[in-house]
Chains A and B, each alone.
Chain A
Amino acid sequence: MNAPANTGSPGSLRLVSTLAIAGLLSGIAIIGIYESTLPTITLNKARELREAVFKVLPGVSQMQALVHRDGELVVVTSPDKDEPVIYGGHDEQGQFVGYAVPAAGPGFQDTIAILYGYKPSEKLVVGMEVLESRETPGLGDKIYKDAEWVAGFGALSIEPEIFAVKKGTRSQPNEIDAITGATISSKAVVRIINEAHAQWSALLPAPGSEPQFEAAGQAPTESGQ
């Protein structure tokens, strides 16, 4: 480097102080940008979540985050980090409609993360939305691009289990037509829902005794993250 001012080697104090000042300034800049963008980012995430929940639970206009603590579901505003959360959906009058359950599992390429709506009174899956997937474009990505497949989750019995069957052969209320050419990805989605359901069904309260909507809860944000 052509740094003519530095003839001979500078003392270590000089080196340390240069780095310290650079680090300090950088820290200030980063804190500044973090503080100024945080509200927008939190808002975006909350809106994304609300939209997904409303999509998988038709007729819902309010939601609250629920976690399972000490044998019962409790309403929380800011769930702890690694705590599994589900969302209770309520209609405009505050009546309970169903749960939106996030679930994830291995797909063909990478983990698929989905959110599905579940109505405990009828034991029905009423909607499914893929949140994250890296399935093959053109084939596996039909799990969120194929409208017919997504619509198949509109009223799907989950007792005892969902089965993906060859396209056009659906005959039971708990069967769904798999996507032609994306059998593995479609089966993965079904398996993810079945596993999440097996895990949660024991923890959910009896239909009719779901947690009431707490107006104070407001729109929950994922501020734990």
Chain B
Amino acid sequence: MKKNPSREELLKGIWRDNPVFVQVLGMCPMLAVTNSAINAVAMGMATFFVLVGSSFLVSTFRHLIPKQVRISCFIIIIATFVTIADYTLLALVPGVHKELGAFIPLIVANCLILGRQEAFASRYPTKLAVMDAIGMASGFVLALLSLGSVREILGDGALFGIKLFGENFEPWVIMILPPGGFLTLGVILLFFNWFKSKKDEFLEEVAAAQRSES
């Protein structure tokens, strides 16, 4: 069976190599700004923009950048995109920008982004690099969104600001505080690992069955 390489690169970031749940990268924004779904989405979209933009540039100019100064060049490219995202958010959605605060400039330091430049975009052709970036960034957005939704539903009884349970809902205050981020992330990672071990067990059983048949 022949696999389409660019589709592979796109899909791996969303599930199999999910940057947050499998690679455990980008924890700082993950824990800090996911106290509501809307913040999570804004953060995710900013990261999406930065990652895809810098992967495109890094991959396009990969032959022109001498390897001795590659990290500095990556950082310059990433920082430019982050600044653009910062000002755009400030102009368009000042409320969300205020909530995200210092974490927008901190996208520069998100190890997911620099990691993709070093490990992928600087080695592969532009098309694959962009596909990889879109996949990874989507995985990141999905992870942020799932964490943000859980925390907003429990912590505020709402999703995207819409009340789900009526006025008498008792908010779980801890969920919108930093410990709630750690707890929720821990539970989700627990689920991912449990799922993975179940899958491995299943694959092993299948393999064993095949061996005994032959």
Contact = CB atoms under 8 A, between A and B. Distances in A.
B177 interface: yes
Given A37-B91, A137-B176, A138-B173, A14 B80 contact: no
Given A19-B72, A30-B84, A6 B77 contact: no
Contacts of A5: 63
Contact of A10 (B66, B87, B171): B66
B163 interface: no
B200 to A, nearest CB: 33
A33 to B, nearest CB: 5
A43 to B, nearest CB: 9
A41 to B, nearest CB: 5
Contact of B173 (A6, A22, A136): A136
Given A26-B77, A37-B90, A15 B68 contact: yes
Contacts of A3: 62-63, 65-67
A90 to B, nearest CB: 27
Contacts of A15: 66, 68-69
B90 A26 contact: no
A185 to B, nearest CB: 14
A21 to B, nearest CB: 9
Given A9-B68, A19-B69, A19-B73, A33 B62 contact: no
Given A1-B122, A5-B63, A19-B76, A137 B155 contact: yes
B90 A1 contact: no
A3 B73 CA distance: 15
Given A1-B122, A22-B76, A30 B176 contact: no
Nearest to B156: A137
A215 interface: no
A159 interface: no
A105 B46 CA distance: 33
Given A2-B123, A26-B77, A136-B173, A34 B87 contact: yes
Contacts of A25: 80
Contacts of B94: 41, 44-45, 48
A45 B90 CA distance: 10
A34 B83 CA distance: 9
A200 B208 CA distance: 82
Interface string A142-176: 00000000000000000000000000000000000
B206 to A, nearest CB: 38
A111 to B, nearest CB: 13
A1 B77 contact: no
A9 B67 CA distance: 9
Given A37-B91, A40-B91, A41-B91, A29 B66 contact: no
Interface string B2-30: 00000000000000000000000000000
B70 A1 contact: yes
B64 interface: yes
A223 interface: no
A14 B73 CA distance: 13
Contacts of A6: 66-67
B96 interface: no
B63 to A, nearest CB: 5
Interface in A97-113: none
A78 interface: no
A66 to B, nearest CB: 25
Interface in B116-163: 122-123, 155
Interface of B: 62-70, 72-73, 76-77, 79-80, 83-84, 87-88, 90-92, 94, 122-123, 155, 171, 173, 176-177
Nearest first, the 10 closest Cβ-Cβ pairs linking A and B are: A37-B91, A40-B91, A26-B80, A138-B173, A37-B87, A1-B67, A22-B76, A10-B66, A33-B84, A44-B94
8 contacts: A1-B123, A2-B123, A3-B67, A18-B64, A25-B80, A29-B84, A33-B84, A37-B91
